A and B are shown apart, each in its own frame.
Chain A
Amino acid sequence: MLIASQILGLIAPQWILLVAAMLVLALDLTLGEEREGWLPYIALLGLGAALVASLSLWNRQVALFEGLFLIDRFAVFFQIIAVLATGLVILASIGYFEGKTPYKGQFYALLLVTALAITLLASAADLVMVFISIEVLSVTSYTLTGYLIADRKSTEAGLKFFLYGAAASAIMLYGMTLLYGATGSTNLAEIGRTLSLASGEGSRWLPIAAIVMLLVGFGFKVSAAPFHQWAPDVYEGAPTPFAAFLSVGSKAAGFAILLRVFLTALPDFRVDWFALVTTLSIATMTLGNLIAIFQENIKRMLAYSSIAQAGYILIGLACWDPQATGRESISAILFYLLAYLFTNLGAFTVVIAVERAVGTNEISDYAGLIRRNPWLAAALFVFFLSLVGIPPTGVFVGKLLIFAAAVRLEYYALVIVALINGVISLYYYYGVLRRVFFLAPRDEAPIAVSTPLRVVLAVTLIMTLGTAIFAQPFIRLALTSAVL
């Protein structure tokens, strides 16, 4: 039996985030205009404390609260991801809201709650917990998307996000009830046991129906086709830092719970969901890459790009085979998510920098960026290189690992489809880079980049390259975290 103080220690990242969020909220009310600028740093302090607490939990393997809440390396890995994503996004958003909205502090508080939701989700070991943490994540996301209430695009995006999310959640919840109905338990491990005992008997259709419905909810979170349509509209309308967060933090959370539920509760149905996940994977990457070509808004383009990335990551799940590639494919996904986090946040940071100088997000405004700010141009080049999957960048290694798992299982077709998609994606990334490097700018004025943005750019750039050049430690991290 654990005593209260031990439990408090084990959920330290969570309550630290909660306290930090409350603190930011309270300070926002009291600090006053001139000291408002402190808020993001206070939030960062909270995140730092949460990170330390998370790291101290490494190598723990405990189930808390009657099995609702599980602490293992997998969960801790996603706690780290959540803290990193949130921290970088907070840095990137400093100064962003200047002149856009009078309310600034709440953004950080809500973002901390979002991080909290992701850590809860990563530890969820029970359908009830899964649902509640997904909803916490969703509700804060809707709010943050519609954060710029004076901006009609933002509020519209928030509302769309909310409506779509509510419907997806409803379907997912239905799937959960079916799963509960089939097994009589909401505990993921217990469900897995019941189903494996009952496998071979006639009624497989109930869990299969549940799988499809769960995939609607999880697919919505990771923006996998055909449940992706909210993403471009939401990314376009949301405050850009939060769009960045959605593309990495929220997506990572979606994959965390997808892996947790499918691999803990439904491993015996692999033969069934394999087909489903493969289909979704192919559809997602192809659709995302094809439509991205036509985007004129960089945020929409990145939205489709992030949809396509979800497709690649899904290959990892499709290639999960308990005998052959079990841990390998999970670790490939984890590595991919980590590398993608830095790469995509970096790309979005460039977008934020340009947006703050130019005021819009049109791709045509990127013309001649190299002459206005060569650093931005160079950074964008590296990030796009990584997104396409060209060495020496992090996402390249991630793709390599995922393809390796696919090749191990001899799913060559999947690899070929993914490679073709990589080539297609070159086209639209190059379309932006062509403007950046070869076209003449409409406006010659140099683009200034604020200090916090520079920090983010530096960190993401280093990590994008670092995860490739010094890949070994990260791969090892992913491998040790791949325990389910």
Chain B
Amino acid sequence: MREALFNLTWLIPLFPLLAFALIILWTHPSRKWSTWVAWIGIGLAWLLGWTMFFLSWGDIHHLTPPEGNHPVPLWALPTGGSVLKIGFQIDTLTALMLFMVPFVCLMIFVYSKGYMGYGTEHPDPRYSRFFAYISLFACGMLGLVVSDNLLTLFIFWEIMGLCSYLLIGFWYDKSYPDPNRITPRQAGLKAFLTTRVGDVIMLIGLLLLYSQVGSLSFKDVFSQETLHMLAEQELWMPIFGTAPVATVIAILIFGGAVGKSAQFPLHVWLPDAMEGPTPVSALIHAATMVSAGVYLVARCFPLFMAVPLDHGGVQLAVVAFIGAFTALAASTIALAQNDVKRVLAYSTISQLGYMIAALGIGAYVAAVFHLITHAFFKALLFLGSGSVIHGVEHGHHKIAHGHHDHEEGHFDPNDMMNMGGLMNKMPRTAWTFIIGGGALAGIVPLAGFWSKDEILAHAWHEFQHTQHFGTFWPLFVWLLLTVAAALTAFYTARQICLTFLGEPRTEAARHAHESPPSMTWPLMILAFFAVILGLFGTPWANQYHELVGEAFAATPFDPFVAGLSTVLAVGGAVCGWLVYGRAPLRAGQVDPLKRWLGPVHGVLENKYYVDELYRLIVIRPVLRLAELCAKFDYDWVINRLVNTIGQLSIRTAERLGGLDLAVVDGTVNLVGRAARGLSTLSNTVDLKGVDGAVNGIGHVVKAGGRQMRTLQSGWVQDYLLLAVTMAIILLGFMLLVLPILR
């Protein structure tokens, strides 16, 4: 029974893929059907995913290595000389991801119905397309977690990259009066190109791995012999000198994670990705896609562990440093942001940094734990912020109806300075948001506290007890993450105060109202999980450890760390309340933080000028180079070379033009006259006999022909749809029906 069920793993990503195809090809004219198709697709994936998860939870030993990785070989493609095996697998990490991904996706799918304006007067003009894209995205993420090899993982990884691009730029026709503000179109491109840098690095890593091992399946790559071999072999590189192959590959693969999980220095795309619809921000840029990078590192953890630091294995140190640095830097930026979604975006970068740093110090279980809890509470926060934006926007529409010239054009529904006092207007949103914020800040006993605490405790423990990673790294990581924890609590409190407390600072906020149930229900469900999920991971009975951490020693409970992080979280939150909550900002009042921090605030507000730096050192030189190339092409090649050849040929042709063609003319005329003579031979033929016979058949077939003619609409889209549909039917017939008929 269980075996048979696990063999169905491949169905999980297939359901959303089918939903995508159905919507794109057929149901897109109907918003209702498209919604349902998408819901059913993800719903089935969720049901199957949870079944798998609870089955494996019930009997963990069944799935833990060595017999654990339950592989489902699906295809063995003979490719001339070799055979490419593609399959799926379930192990405990995958099972845990199957708990999180499809459920969070489902919540966001449900939420999207309301957010995209189903049933209202102004539904989004590309409503169905939105559901198609997020279905494809869900396919990508689910496919990624069930892949049993790095190749399909990379393919699904890229599918998500594509969806991310499509969805960030979903409102591609939107533009802002402020020319410096990034438009959705630009943001999509930026995300695509930035993550591409990481993806190329990762691909190089995969190619290197394949060239060394000859396989990319987890089972082959992460076997003890292979890892040993990779650790022993050395690779010489220019500049860097020699290093173990395993280290090089691990760092290259980590490059992919840096891009996808928005770690420094490739984090710049994520804040701008907030230009996409809010469910997308929640789905892709908070809960699932960005955590794929963390998942990748967790999945390849054996490779990262293959070489210890004292043998030249710097890979984990790199991971820890980048993660911790990102966590702290992003949380400082979040302090100075006014856009409700951008605060969350930087908070996401920061929390992902936590997970990456945790992996870097070997806190595998803690990282996975935080990955799960974060996905739930961050999805909650994003959806909550979407609900707030939705409400404020509607408030704005309501008053804009009254007096048309009022505020139109420069009102930003995302700006927290335009909010305030929404607690009474949107109670459900507010309460769930506060729960999510508490979880993010690490308030006992909400989910975030336990997972964050475990990371910190692990770092402290490593510092005190082992020399494995060198004494400095764990302390460094611990220090940075602890400071980041305090800052997190502070900016979360700031956000909640600015949004929900005090008096409304604009007319729009005054007229805001609660979102429809299809939006608030997912919030409440997610809030429930944000409360309870941490309780499964307490240091005394850590289910997560039992599930995925068999190979690792449990992190002991450390009262000092727990106490300190609680004090910092509560302290940070109280500070935030003291600044923003006790005396709420009034309309037009300047953020007190701006006064206190002075010029530093400007630096934070501008995100340490990283974007500007990139523009200076990357974008501008590339544009210059492109201009130079174009100049070369146009001025030198076209103007000089081509024109010279052209004139030369014209001159030659003029000479040839004098050729007399009388010969040709004569011949042709002759043939013509012959033909005229010949056609006189075949004269009139009587046709009356045919008449009657034909009319008889005609009436019968006319009816059929008339029906078929309606297919010929004149729209090439329709033709292509029919052609593709027929091709699919033929494929299905040939591959599925015909073998049975035989």
Q: Does A411 contact B (CB under 8 A)?
A: no
Q: Does A97 contact B (CB under 8 A)?
A: no
> Is A29 in contact with B727, judged by CB distance below 8 angstroms?
no
Shortest C-beta distance, A368 to chain B (Å), equals 13
What is the CA–CA distance of A458 and B676 in the complex, to the nearest angstrom? 7
Q: Does A419 contact B (CB under 8 A)?
A: no
Q: Does A148 contact B (CB under 8 A)?
A: no
> Is A216 in contact with B719, judged by CB distance below 8 angstroms?
no
Which of B9-17, B327-335, B487-495, B709-717 makes up part of the contact surface? B709-717
> Is A455 in contact with B734, judged by CB distance below 8 angstroms?
no
> Is B719 in contact with A291, judged by CB distance below 8 angstroms?
no
Q: Does A95 contact B (CB under 8 A)?
A: no
Q: Does B697 contact A (CB under 8 A)?
A: yes
> Is B697 in contact with A423, judged by CB distance below 8 angstroms?
yes
Shortest C-beta distance, A300 to chain B (Å), equals 9
Instruction: List which A255-294 residues lie within 8 A (CB) of chain B.
Output: 272, 275-276, 279, 287, 289-294
> Is B685 in contact with A167, judged by CB distance below 8 angstroms?
no
Q: Does A212 contact B (CB under 8 A)?
A: yes
Per-position 1/0 for A218-240, Cβ under 8 A of B: 00100000110110110000000
Shortest C-beta distance, B651 to chain A (Å), equals 8
Shortest C-beta distance, A209 to chain B (Å), equals 6
Q: Does A205 contact B (CB under 8 A)?
A: yes
From B705, which residue of chain A is reached at the shortest CB distance?
Answer: A290
Please indicate which of the listed interface residues A164, A182, A227 has the most CB atoms of chain B within 10 Å of its own CB: A227
> Is A206 in contact with B77, judged by CB distance below 8 angstroms?
yes
Shortest C-beta distance, B124 to chain A (Å), equals 26
Q: Does B541 contact A (CB under 8 A)?
A: no
What is the CA–CA distance of A206 and B702 in the complex, to the nearest angstrom? 41
> Is A272 in contact with B698, judged by CB distance below 8 angstroms?
no
> Is B706 in contact with A294, judged by CB distance below 8 angstroms?
yes
What is the CA–CA distance of A279 and B729 in the complex, to the nearest angstrom? 12
Q: Which residues of A have CB within 8 Å of B672?
A: 451-452, 454-455, 458
Q: Which residues of A have CB within 8 Å of B661?
A: 38, 41
From A385, which residue of chain B is reached at the shortest CB distance?
Answer: B685
> Is A208 in contact with B735, judged by CB distance below 8 angstroms?
yes
Q: Which residues of B have CB within 8 Å of A434?
A: 687, 691
Please indicate which of the listed interface residues B78, B697, B731, B735 has the most CB atoms of chain A within 10 Å of its own CB: B78
A209-B735 contact in complex given A203-B78, A230-B716, A459-B675, C-beta closer than 8 Å:
yes
Shortest C-beta distance, B397 to chain A (Å), equals 39
Q: Which residues of B have CB within 8 Å of A208?
A: 734-735
For the residues of A in contact with B, the DSSP-based class is helix
Instruction: List which B605-653 residues lie within 8 A (CB) of chain A.
Output: 649-650, 652-653
> Is A430 in contact with B671, judged by CB distance below 8 angstroms?
no
Instruction: List which A150-178 residues lie within 8 A (CB) of chain B.
Output: 159-160, 163-164, 167-168, 171
> Is A167 in contact with B675, judged by CB distance below 8 angstroms?
no
Per-position 1/0 for B251-278, Cβ under 8 A of A: 0000000000000000000000000000
Interface residues on A, range: 35 or more
What is the CA–CA distance of A255 and B668 in the complex, to the nearest angstrom? 32
Q: Does B125 contact A (CB under 8 A)?
A: no
Shortest C-beta distance, B722 to chain A (Å), equals 6
From B715, which residue of chain A is reached at the shortest CB distance?
Answer: A160
> Is B78 in contact with A182, judged by CB distance below 8 angstroms?
yes
Instruction: List which A69-114 residues lie within 8 A (CB) of chain B.
Output: none
Per-position 1/0 for B7-29, Cβ under 8 A of A: 00000000000000000000000
Q: Which residues of A have CB within 8 Å of B652?
A: 26
Q: Which residues of A have CB within 8 Å of B679?
A: 375, 378-379, 454, 457-458, 461
Q: Does B119 contact A (CB under 8 A)?
A: no
Q: Which residues of B have CB within 8 Å of A226?
A: 722-723, 726
Q: Does A472 contact B (CB under 8 A)?
A: no
Shortest C-beta distance, A165 to chain B (Å), equals 10
Q: Does A198 contact B (CB under 8 A)?
A: yes
> Is B668 in contact with A381, judged by CB distance below 8 angstroms?
no
> Is B723 in contact with A216, judged by CB distance below 8 angstroms?
yes
> Is A27 in contact with B653, judged by CB distance below 8 angstroms?
yes
> Is A275 in contact with B701, judged by CB distance below 8 angstroms?
no
Instruction: List which A177-193 residues lie within 8 A (CB) of chain B.
Output: 181-185
> Is B678 in contact with A275, judged by CB distance below 8 angstroms?
no
Instruction: List which B715-741 residues lie within 8 A (CB) of chain A.
Output: 716, 718-720, 722-724, 726-727, 730-731, 734-735, 738
> Is A194 in contact with B653, judged by CB distance below 8 angstroms?
no
Of A29, A44, A452, A455, the contact of B650 (CB 8 Å cutoff)? A29
Q: Does A426 contact B (CB under 8 A)?
A: yes
What is the CA–CA distance of A164 and B687 in the complex, to the nearest angstrom? 41
Please indicate which of the listed interface residues A31, A212, A279 has the most CB atoms of chain B within 10 Å of its own CB: A212
Instruction: List which A26-48 residues lie within 8 A (CB) of chain B.
Output: 26-27, 29-32, 35, 38, 41, 44-45
> Is B697 in contact with A424, judged by CB distance below 8 angstroms?
yes
Q: Does B4 contact A (CB under 8 A)?
A: no
Instruction: List which A430-463 residues lie within 8 A (CB) of chain B.
Output: 430, 433-434, 437-438, 451-452, 454-455, 457-459, 461-462
What is the CA–CA distance of A218 and B675 in the complex, to the nearest angstrom? 37
Q: Does B694 contact A (CB under 8 A)?
A: yes
A164-B716 contact in complex given A29-B650, A194-B80, C-beta closer than 8 Å:
yes
What is the CA–CA distance of A378 and B738 in the complex, to the nearest angstrom? 49
From B693, which residue of chain A is reached at the shortest CB distance?
Answer: A426
Q: Does B654 contact A (CB under 8 A)?
A: yes
A430-B653 contact in complex given A181-B77, A370-B684, C-beta closer than 8 Å:
no
From A44, which residue of chain B is reached at the shortest CB distance?
Answer: B664
What is the CA–CA distance of A123 and B675 in the complex, to the nearest angstrom? 34
What is the CA–CA distance of A160 and B738 in the complex, to the nearest angstrom? 34
Q: Which residues of B have CB within 8 Å of A279?
A: 730
Shortest C-beta distance, A155 to chain B (Å), equals 13
Shortest C-beta distance, A283 to chain B (Å), equals 9
Shortest C-beta distance, A170 to chain B (Å), equals 10
Per-position 1/0 for A357-377, Cβ under 8 A of B: 000000000000010001100
Q: Which residues of A have CB within 8 Å of B687?
A: 381, 430, 433-434, 437-438
What is the CA–CA distance of A162 and B597 in the complex, to the nearest angstrom? 61
Q: Which residues of A have CB within 8 Å of B690?
A: 426, 430
Q: Does A211 contact B (CB under 8 A)?
A: yes
From A215, which residue of chain B is reached at the shortest CB distance?
Answer: B730
From A216, which residue of chain B is reached at the shortest CB distance?
Answer: B727
From B695, which residue of chain A is reached at the shortest CB distance?
Answer: A427
> Is A27 in contact with B705, judged by CB distance below 8 angstroms?
no
> Is B704 in contact with A230, judged by CB distance below 8 angstroms?
no
Q: Does A213 contact B (CB under 8 A)?
A: yes
Q: Which residues of A have CB within 8 Å of B693?
A: 426
Q: Which residues of A have CB within 8 Å of B684?
A: 370, 374, 378
Of A26, A159, A164, A198, the contact of B649 (CB 8 Å cutoff)? A26
Q: Which residues of B have CB within 8 Å of A211?
A: 734
A458-B675 contact in complex given A27-B657, A30-B650, A229-B722, C-beta closer than 8 Å:
yes
Shortest C-beta distance, A138 to chain B (Å), equals 15
Q: A residues bordering B, Cβ < 8 Å?
A: 26-27, 29-32, 35, 38, 41, 44-45, 159-160, 163-164, 167-168, 171, 181-185, 194, 198, 203, 205-206, 208-209, 211-213, 215-216, 220, 226-227, 229-230, 232-233, 272, 275-276, 279, 287, 289-294, 370, 374-375, 378-379, 381-382, 423-424, 426-427, 430, 433-434, 437-438, 451-452, 454-455, 457-459, 461-462
Q: Which 8 A-B pairs have the closest CB atoms?
A: A184-B80, A458-B675, A290-B705, A30-B653, A229-B719, A226-B726, A451-B672, A160-B716
Known: A159-B716, A289-B701, A451-B669. 4 other contacts (CB 8 A): A30-B657, A220-B723, A293-B702, A457-B675
Q: B residues bordering A, Cβ < 8 Å?
A: 76-81, 649-650, 652-654, 656-657, 661, 664-665, 668-669, 671-672, 674-676, 678-680, 682-685, 687, 690-691, 693-694, 697-698, 701-702, 704-706, 708-709, 711-712, 714, 716, 718-720, 722-724, 726-727, 730-731, 734-735, 738
- Supply 21 A–B pairs (Cβ within 8 Å), ascending by A: A32-B657, A38-B664, A41-B661, A167-B723, A182-B78, A183-B80, A185-B80, A194-B80, A206-B78, A209-B735, A216-B727, A229-B718, A233-B712, A272-B738, A275-B734, A291-B708, A294-B706, A375-B676, A379-B682, A454-B672, A458-B671
